[in-house]
Copies of this chain bind each other. A is one copy, B any other.
């Protein structure tokens, strides 16, 4: 068997463990020097293949590779470029040229449902042209909305971050006799998994209400509930998904110099409504980028599964598989057990998995089944390496291939 190179692509938004999948893939690649000639990274997602901008990860030293496990942000850079539908488009020719030039036989695409579209298109064209190039997907998204997998790599760590951060905010929010209406905005445009996670907190240090995009947002009920809770305990805490829909009063919205109406974040806009309608003090808190970029609240379960997914993608590709993504299937929750399977990308690309109604107790609280589902995913802490009080991160030399 001829030796061939492998190339790894990071796509879409980062997670705190995104570079741990890469770590797993690199380590598995290194275990097969008889089959893998080079381990390349594609810079800025698919754009690296489009413009022949690859780096040789074999030139990085071992300490850097180990540090990938505590380095947030897509270390290879990322992209939201969507490949064209037409298989005859020049973009595919450019990509295939890069693959040929570097004798690449294995392509790994790490991403969410959009990125799996890239993975699907690449695997199809290689298949149609009869090229001996295996294309495999490695799951990743803090949103947890990938189909066909029990959960997505990165979700457990993001959930652990969100849960613990919201807990600290809940404690902080409770210290004054007369507090505020706190509105905490959490990532999730269409799927409310991360917002749901905060309902795992014990009573007294969790939000009073959570609002997922899966449910219709009832503004009047929200205002009524907030007011009642504020009157009862002197403050109120709501956690909302960024994607909840409500009618925003644009009569006093900002208009930029191009005449475009500028909406604020959901929490900020909702806070304005509370001030207007209830005349109560508010504080909007957007958890923002740290949700997907914190390495010091990484879930050990998530980290280990993520490394495993990277390893298995390489292992299966070397065994001849293509057009599949590594998925996690839950065997049991108590004790927590999973198995890993390769799933046909056709079932995953562009599909969104939202929180099922069966996991909700009512519009603003989760059912015990959600707790059973989510709690195992945030278990275990990792030993983060610091230098002079600052968390160490991998910095690549980026030697071009």
Contacts and interface: CB of A to CB of B under 8 A. Distances in A.
Interface of A: 14, 44, 47, 71-74, 77-80, 160, 163-165, 167-169, 171-177, 200-202, 204-205, 252-258, 262, 264, 268, 272, 275-277, 279, 283, 285-286, 288-290, 292-297, 299, 375, 378-381, 384, 386, 388-391, 393, 395
A255 to B, nearest CB: 5
Contact of A254 (B47, B254, B288, B296): B254
Contacts of A168: 72-73, 289-290, 293-295, 391
29 contacts: A14-B172, A73-B174, A73-B175, A74-B175, A77-B177, A79-B177, A160-B389, A163-B389, A164-B296, A164-B391, A167-B390, A167-B393, A168-B293, A168-B295, A168-B391, A172-B289, A200-B390, A201-B390, A204-B395, A253-B254, A256-B276, A257-B276, A264-B268, A285-B288, A296-B296, A299-B389, A375-B388, A375-B389, A380-B389
Contacts of A80: 176
Contacts of A176: 44, 77-80
Nearest to A394: B171
A295 B169 CA distance: 11
Given A73-B175, A177-B44, A293 B169 contact: yes
A167 B391 contact: yes
A199 to B, nearest CB: 12
Contacts of A258: 279
Contacts of A172: 14, 72-73, 289, 292-293
Contact of A169 (B164, B257, B286, B290): B290
A114 to B, nearest CB: 14
Contact of A256 (B78, B169, B275, B293): B275
A285 B77 CA distance: 21
Contacts of A277: 257
Task: Return the 8 tightest CB-CB contacts between A and B, nearest first.
Answer: A378-B389, A73-B171, A172-B293, A168-B293, A74-B175, A73-B172, A257-B276, A78-B175
A163 B391 CA distance: 9
Contact of A272 (B71, B205, B256): B256
A280 to B, nearest CB: 12
Given A169-B290, A254-B272, A299-B389, 4 more contacts: A164-B296, A168-B289, A168-B294, A172-B292
A174 B393 CA distance: 14
A200 B388 CA distance: 10
Contacts of A262: 272, 275
A290 B291 CA distance: 13
A74 B257 CA distance: 44
